Amino acid sequence: MPELPEVETSRRGIEPHLVGNVLHYAIVRNSKLRWPVSEKIKTLLDEPILSVKRRAKYLLVELNTGWIIIHLGMSGSVRILLEEQPEEKHDHIDLVFRDGKVLRYTDPRRFGAWLWCEDLATSSVLAHLGPEPLSDEFNAEYLYQQSKNKKTVIKPWLMDNKLVVGVGNIYANEALFSSGIMPDRKANSLTTEECTVLVTAIKRVLTRSIEQGGTTLKDFLQSDGKPGYFAQELFVYGRKDKPCLICGQPIESIKQGQRSTFFCRHCQHGDNEN
């Protein structure tokens, strides 16, 4: 599933080809995604592209008359084609540009979304999102204040988009490992010092992943249908029973909210092990 770094890499990959270009027309082959594709998108003609931004895991394409809001869902990807090419089974949407380039959206599971709004402030899908994790607004004091009365377990809490956006399962696991914090602690057990360490770890893990993705930007100009995502350098996620890269002890795994959680019992501490 595309996480925040992959979505940011997608944004950076398509931005140079879209901004300053003119959307000639859209082709919608299948409207049945997570929500029906907005009718307005189907009627867009000769619209200049002003910017390509990101909010959480949403790509935001700015036109003179409003915004296309794109979510990649579980399996979606976007890529740039130098010219129109025959579509394949899961190629649901094309944006065709005046210079002949095509932004193609592919989504085998059809759990993504293509929505339209005239003003982002009125968008229901963006209204209740927390701060961006790489912003100044997401800091240790904010996290500590949010945690004080929360009896929720830490890892699922970090994945709540109302708290902070874009800290998906992979990055929550990795940040907690980097912070030395067990994922099954309660949020209200965090100290101010631990919040400082955890915020720093989240920003570092996400920044590193975005930097890794930067090496794959050329892959967004391709024709083979493969998304331009990148291999992660992971310490615990997906490494059950493998030796910890720090101490050599086996990585353990539990289920939290139907999601797999990975940790090292030696390197990460519980409430009273500070």
Q: Establish whether 29 is an annotated binding residue.
A: no
Catalytic residue among 8, 11, 47, 57: 57
One-letter amino acid of 241: D
Other residues' Cβ atoms within 10 Å of the Cβ of residue 168: 20
Other residues' Cβ atoms within 10 Å of the Cβ of residue 88: 9
Q: Establish whether 266 is an annotated binding residue.
A: no
94, 26 in Cβ contact below 8 A?
yes
Catalytic residue among 3, 15, 47, 174: 3
State yes or no: is 2 an active-site residue: yes
94, 44 in Cβ contact below 8 A?
no
Q: In angstroms, rounded to a whole number, what is the distance separating the alpha carbons of residues 132 and 272?
A: 31
State yes or no: is 259 an active-site residue: yes
Q: In angstroms, rounded to a whole number, what is the distance separating the alpha carbons of residues 212 and 231?
A: 8
Take residue 85 and report the two structure tokens written for it.
Answer: 């090419």
Q: Establish whether 150 is an annotated binding residue.
A: yes
Q: Which residues touch 146 (CB under 8 Å, ≥6 apart)?
A: 163, 187
| CA atoms within a 13 Å half-sphere pointing along the CA-CB vector of 80 | 21
Q: In angstroms, rounded to a whole number, what is the distance separating the alpha carbons of residues 195 and 250?
A: 26
Catalytic residue among 12, 53, 208, 259: 259
Q: In angstroms, rounded to a whole number, what is the distance separating the alpha carbons of residues 158 and 86?
A: 42
31-41: string of b/e by CB count within 10 Å (b at 16+)?
A: eebbeebbeeb
Active site residues: 2-3, 57, 259
Binding-site annotation, residues for DNA: 90, 109, 150
Binding-site annotation, residues: 90, 109, 150
